[in-house]
A and B are shown apart, each in its own frame.
Chain A
Amino acid sequence: MLKTVGLNLGILIWICSIFIGMKILYDYSKTPGPEGHSSSEWPYSSRLAKPSARPVLIMTVHPKCPCSQASIEELAKILTKVGNRIQAHVLMLPLGTSPDALADAKNNYVWIRGSETPNLQMHIDYEAREAKGFGALVSGQVLLFSSKGKLIFQGGITQSRGHQGDSAGHAAIVQYIEQRKIQITKSPVFGCHLFEQATIEHHTNGGSHAEHPGIQ
Chain B
Amino acid sequence: MQNILEFNKDKTSLRARQLFQDNSRLLYTSVDKTFLFLLLFQWAGAITCSLMISPLAWEGASSSIHLHVWTALLLGAVINVLPLILIFVLPGEAITRHAIAFAQMTWSAFLIHLSGGRVETHFHIFGSLAFLAFYKDWRVLITATAVTAVDHIVRSFYWPESVYGINYQIVYGSLSSANWRWLEHVIWVLFCDTFLIYSCLKGTNELRELTKRQSQLEETSRLAEAANQAKSAFLANMSHELRTPMHGILSYARFGQTKIDFSPKEKIKSYFDEIHESGSNLMNLLNDLLDLTKLESGKVDYNMQERDLIDVTEGVKSELVMLANEKDLTIEILNTEPIKGFFDQEKIGQVVRNILSNAIKFSHRGSIIKVFYNQTELRIRCCVLNRGVGIPQAELETVFDKFAQSSKTKTGSGGTGLGLAICREIIQQHNGMIWAESDDTDTKFTFELPRWQNMSTTELNSTLSKTPA
Q: Which residues of A contact B (CB under 8 A)?
A: 7, 10-11, 14-15, 17-18, 21-22, 24-26, 28-30, 62, 64-67, 69-70, 95-96, 139, 159-160, 162-168, 170-172, 175, 183-184, 192-197, 199-200
Contacts and interface: CB of A to CB of B under 8 A. Distances in A.
A194 B60 CA distance: 5
Nearest to B99: A11
Nearest to B95: A7
A162 B166 contact: no
Given A21-B74, A192-B59, A183 B170 contact: yes
B155 interface: yes
Contacts of B56: 64, 66
B99 A62 contact: no
28 contacts: A14-B82, A14-B99, A15-B102, A17-B78, A18-B75, A21-B75, A22-B75, A22-B109, A24-B71, A25-B71, A25-B75, A25-B110, A25-B113, A26-B158, A28-B67, A30-B161, A66-B53, A66-B56, A159-B162, A164-B117, A164-B118, A166-B164, A168-B166, A168-B170, A183-B171, A192-B58, A192-B59, A196-B59
Nearest to A163: B117
B403 to A, nearest CB: 57
A28 B172 CA distance: 27
B161 A167 contact: yes
Contacts of B62: 196
A164 B116 contact: yes
B166 A29 contact: no
A64 B55 CA distance: 10
Contacts of A26: 113, 155, 158-159, 162
Contacts of A95: 60-61
A110 to B, nearest CB: 13
A164 B102 CA distance: 26
Nearest to A200: B59
A25 B73 CA distance: 13
A70 B116 contact: yes
Contacts of B38: none
A29 B60 CA distance: 19
Contacts of A183: 170-173
Interface string B96-120: 0001001000100110010011100
A18 B58 CA distance: 27
B272 to A, nearest CB: 85
Contacts of A62: 58
B81 interface: yes
Given A21-B74, A26-B113, 19 more contacts: A14-B99, A15-B102, A21-B79, A25-B110, A30-B159, A64-B56, A66-B53, A66-B66, A69-B116, A163-B116, A163-B117, A163-B162, A164-B118, A171-B166, A183-B172, A184-B171, A192-B59, A196-B62, A199-B60
Contacts of B345: none
B167 interface: yes
Nearest to A94: B61
Given A7-B95, A25-B71, A159 B166 contact: yes
Nearest to B59: A193
B300 interface: no
B52 to A, nearest CB: 9
Contacts of B118: 164
A175 B171 CA distance: 9
B57 A192 contact: yes
Nearest to A14: B82
Given A11-B99, A70-B116, A168-B170, A64 B63 contact: yes
Interface in B85-102: 95, 99, 102
